[in-house]
Structure 1
Amino acid sequence: MQAEFGAADPVTEGRPIDAASARRALVERLQADGILTDPRLRDVLSRQDRGVLMPRAYVRRSEQGSEPVVWELLDGAHPKDQAEWLELVYSGESVLVQRDGERFEGQVRGVVSGGRMTAMSTFTPYTVEVLQQMRIDAGHRFLDLGTGAGVSLALAAALTGPGRAFGVERDERMAAFAQKSLDRVGVGARVVAGDALDGHAPQAPFDRIHSGIGVPCLPSAWVDQLAPGGRLLTTLATRTPSWPGHCLVTRTTGGHVEAVLKGGPRGHRPLHGYTWLTAQHHLQQIANSPGKRRPTAFAPPPDHAYGFWLAAAYLVPGVVRHFQADTLTVVAPEENSWAVAGPGDGTVRVHGPRDVWAELDHVHGLWVRAGSPAAFHIDVPDDGAQQHVTSGTGTAALRWELPALSVTP
């Protein structure tokens, strides 16, 4: 559920541009789309040289669904690559920077086949939304988890001031690469190699903690390392990439922890080893045989009814949505089941042993009876016990449990 980001800048479209012009165009698009509203962050973005942080980038040259995937590594220092690389780095899209955990010193420009991307930058509009929600002030101690190339950390460090921002990155090669790049940018940030789930106890507590990786529940270490008055923001990931959850944790000046979960159009990718479901292998089957048609009175709420879709991610598990379909299409890939709505004629086509349409209808009824909540509260026990989610009090409230970190999806 990722929104389209802006349009091409009419001044630079179709013409070679330099880094300064590309930076300015990116900031102007973010402002025009109503995404970038913080003047301090705007100034930082206007100065950040993203090319230093991502001097090389991969682009996909093969069609979606084709195997093996064909990639091309662009080198920003090479004359033949510069124009496309510059456009990509300042496009606002996610930029792919590492394949199969490779050494950055050994990256060679050109076409390669197969493998998977192991590091990438975040979609820039989402980075901006997250940093603005963090409310970062000068002097705050900031922790970035799953730092990657360091794009978000560099922005946060420019807001906090030197020596106040720290990053944790699982991949030692990526951590070393990010540190060198951040040193060149000169924001005074520090990156350590380690497990992001452990946080960074040596520099705790932190006023602001941002996780660039999705997790199934809140790691105790993160909550423990949050200072009084602090804010922690992460994506709570399920097995479906379709309906991410945004979790904001605050610690009051008195030490009380409050955690609120909301849905949204996008989120961070899940932690290493967490496998998302995909409908990719069923799309041709669905196109050829959408399923048996039947009448339905269920009209799913719009995409921006994030509270419902977030609840569906948990209460209709194992389901993924095909967002490129002409009408609402949801797939339970492990059961070879799916449902294709309408379009708009009071019918649905269903296939397979699992009736995912009926499940969505049932959860929708529960959601409506609960008051159509847009936000949910998470109980975070001090002893690290299982975390529970609820839409409120009373018998009609929606409730579910979050899986433990140790659970393999």
Structure 2
Amino acid sequence: MDEFAELRQRLDRVLEADGGWPVDSPWVRPAVEDLPRHLFAPDRVWAWDGSAYVPADRGTEAGRWAELVYPRPDQATITQITDGLPSSSLSCQAVVVDMLDSLMVERGHQVLELGTGAGWNAALLAARAGPGRVTSVEVDSRLAAESRTRLDAVGAGVNVVGGDGAQGRRENAPYDRVVATYAVDEVPWTWVEQTRPGGRIVTPWGRLGHVALTVADDGRSASGWMQGLAQFMPSRGTSQGLPWDQVRGDDAPETDGSFARDVRRLHADVSLLFALRVVLPDVRILTTAGDGVTAWLHDGHSSWATLTAPESAAPVVYQGGPRRLAEETDRAWQKWQDAGEPSLYDFGMTRTPTRQYIWSGDKDTGTRWATTVGSTTPCTVSAGDTR
């Protein structure tokens, strides 16, 4: 008897109702059925209680543990906490199946996965590519050992190796497909070098969205479209900056005033949020909705802004720090509107040996924004400049 059958069926039905099962990759759904999440979940998972992450142990809280392993399709299962913050998870099922669809894996493909984590995604990849065709790199030695045990238990035939995902894995290159399970701001050029011409790379980018890149015939670039939403943990060692409360501090706001735009769109319009991410790569935007909408903006260092839009009153701005994030957001918003409000799916990315840029509309003639790790000022580059 499958003690998780009801929870698994609930998750399956919700994903079906949301249109989340990929039509173009019919193999994904039976693979998820054959390799359920709980086979790859550790006996301790974690949940946010409003002030901290608290554990749920399978041995003492079996019901709560199971609910956390089988949440809604858009919710992840936290499987590791480091220094009070999540450092590994079973990714939300909706994004996992969407990224597998974007990867376009075929039987016999040589696949490289960066970030083994619990091992579930690697098992799903192997179900499609075949035993012995998937190599997975994990920087955390304990996670690598645990995932290797789980993968061996289901007969996945995945080669789990320790190492830095940014370096890829040259031993089995070139690969037909490369996929990352953690977010990067800049796609490592080594990934492109280790992918065959015509091969495909799928990775979460930044804090919002995942992209699928196809390597050019000459191997000197990789380009492709944004595929959908994906909010993944960053690679280990990536500075996440200061949290909101530390950037905000206790000082009184330096300025306040009004905000002429509809703050509700910051809460509801993912295309707007993605466009702001492109134009203002270091600005983080968090929103809540209740009696109106409130948006918190900060740069992870010293500048912040709060946009409060009650249901029956005009939006109000409070901000502090050397930058005026409300005004920067307003200007970036205007650029998006001037461009015709392109959707998330109208954006793409190109990676060359020396640079990476986001483009809108057309990779050769559309507007481009250079994306350089550590840069706080986006640089617009002209069409045709692909150095």
TM-score scaled by length of structure 1: 0.77
The 1:368–1:156 alpha-carbon spacing in structure 2 relative to 1, beyond 3 Å, is: same
State the match for 2:215 in structure 1: 251
Question: Is the contact made by 2:87 and 2:233 (CA closer than 8 Å) also made in structure 1?
Answer: no
Matched residues in 1 for 2:248 and 2:341: separation? 31
State the match for 1:12 in structure 2: none
Q: What per-residue deviation string (whole Å, max 9, x for no partner) do you get for residues 72-125 of structure 1? A: 2513xx3x332222222222532222344xxxxxxxxxxxxx744432221111
In the alignment, structure 1 residue 298 sits paired with structure 2 residue 283: no
Matched residues in 1 for 2:287 and 2:2: separation? 33
Question: Is the contact made by 2:213 and 2:349 (CA closer than 8 Å) also made in structure 1?
Answer: no
State the match for 1:349 in structure 2: 317
Q: Which amino acid aligns with 2:296?
A: V
Matched residues in 1 for 2:194 and 2:186: separation? 16
Deviation (angstroms), 1:211: 0.4
When structure 1 is superposed on structure 2, of 297-306 and 185-194 the one drifting more is 297-306
In the alignment, structure 1 residue 95 sits paired with structure 2 residue 77: yes
Deviation (angstroms), 1:255: 5.0
Q: Which amino acid aligns with 2:99?
A: V
* SS of 2:181 mapped into structure 1: strand
Question: Is the contact made by 1:262 and 1:307 (CA closer than 8 Å) also made in structure 2?
Answer: no
* SS of 2:182 mapped into structure 1: strand
* SS of 2:260 mapped into structure 1: coil
Percent identity among equivalent residues? 27
State the match for 2:130 in structure 1: 161
In the alignment, structure 1 residue 36 sits paired with structure 2 residue 21: yes
Matched residues in 2 for 1:189 and 1:43: separation? 19
Deviation (angstroms), 1:392: 5.7
Q: Which amino acid aligns with 1:45?
A: V
Deviation (angstroms), 1:369: 2.6
Matched residues in 2 for 1:201 and 1:319: separation? 35
In the alignment, structure 1 residue 189 sits paired with structure 2 residue 158: yes
Q: Which amino acid aligns with 2:193?
A: D
Question: Is the contact made by 2:221 and 2:351 (CA closer than 8 Å) also made in structure 1?
Answer: yes
Question: Is the contact made by 1:163 and 1:190 (CA closer than 8 Å) also made in structure 2?
Answer: yes
Question: Is the contact made by 2:248 and 2:303 (CA closer than 8 Å) also made in structure 1?
Answer: no
Matched residues in 1 for 2:8 and 2:184: separation? 32
State the match for 2:46 in structure 1: 59
Deviation (angstroms), 1:207: 1.6
Q: What per-residue deviation string (whole Å, max 9, x for no partner) do you get for residues 33-56 of structure 1? A: 211134311111111143332131
Matched residues in 1 for 2:230 and 2:302: separation? 26
After superposition, the CA RMSD in angstroms is: 3.3
The 1:358–1:264 alpha-carbon spacing in structure 2 relative to 1, beyond 3 Å, is: farther
Q: Which amino acid aligns with 1:335?
A: S
Deviation (angstroms), 1:280: 4.3
Deviation (angstroms), 1:341: 4.0
Matched residues in 1 for 2:86 and 2:266: separation? 32
Q: How many residues align?
A: 362
Question: Is the contact made by 1:49 and 1:185 (CA closer than 8 Å) also made in structure 2?
Answer: no
Question: Is the contact made by 2:117 and 2:143 (CA closer than 8 Å) also made in structure 1?
Answer: yes
When structure 1 is superposed on structure 2, of 261-270 and 207-216 the one drifting more is 261-270
Question: Is the contact made by 1:228 and 1:253 (CA closer than 8 Å) also made in structure 2?
Answer: yes
Residues 115-194 of structure 1 mapped to structure 2, 5 A cutoff: 115-194=84-163
Residues 319-330 of structure 1 mapped to structure 2, 5 A cutoff: 319-325=283-289, 326-330=292-296
Q: What per-residue deviation string (whole Å, max 9, x for no partner) do you get for residues 3-26 of structure 1? A: xxxxxxxxxxxxx97133333332
Question: Is the contact made by 2:114 and 2:138 (CA closer than 8 Å) also made in structure 1?
Answer: yes
* SS of 1:216 mapped into structure 2: coil
State the match for 2:55 in structure 1: 72
Deviation (angstroms), 1:393: 7.6
Q: Which amino acid aligns with 1:366?
A: K
Q: What per-residue deviation string (whole Å, max 9, x for no partner) do you get for residues 179-201 of structure 1? A: 11100011211110011011111
Question: Is the contact made by 1:331 and 1:338 (CA closer than 8 Å) also made in structure 2?
Answer: yes
Q: Which amino acid aligns with 2:55?
A: E
Question: Is the contact made by 1:247 and 1:259 (CA closer than 8 Å) also made in structure 2?
Answer: no
Question: Is the contact made by 1:263 and 1:310 (CA closer than 8 Å) also made in structure 2?
Answer: no
Q: What per-residue deviation string (whole Å, max 9, x for no partner) do you get for residues 149-194 of structure 1? A: 1111111111111111111000112111111110001121111001
Q: Which amino acid aligns with 2:260?
A: A
TM-score scaled by length of structure 2: 0.81
In the alignment, structure 1 residue 82 sits paired with structure 2 residue 51: no
Question: Is the contact made by 2:88 and 2:233 (CA closer than 8 Å) also made in structure 1?
Answer: no
Q: Which amino acid aligns with 1:378?
A: M
State the match for 1:218 in structure 2: 187
**307, 313, 316: which one pairs with 2:277?**
313
Matched residues in 1 for 2:236 and 2:68: separation? 25
* SS of 2:213 mapped into structure 1: strand
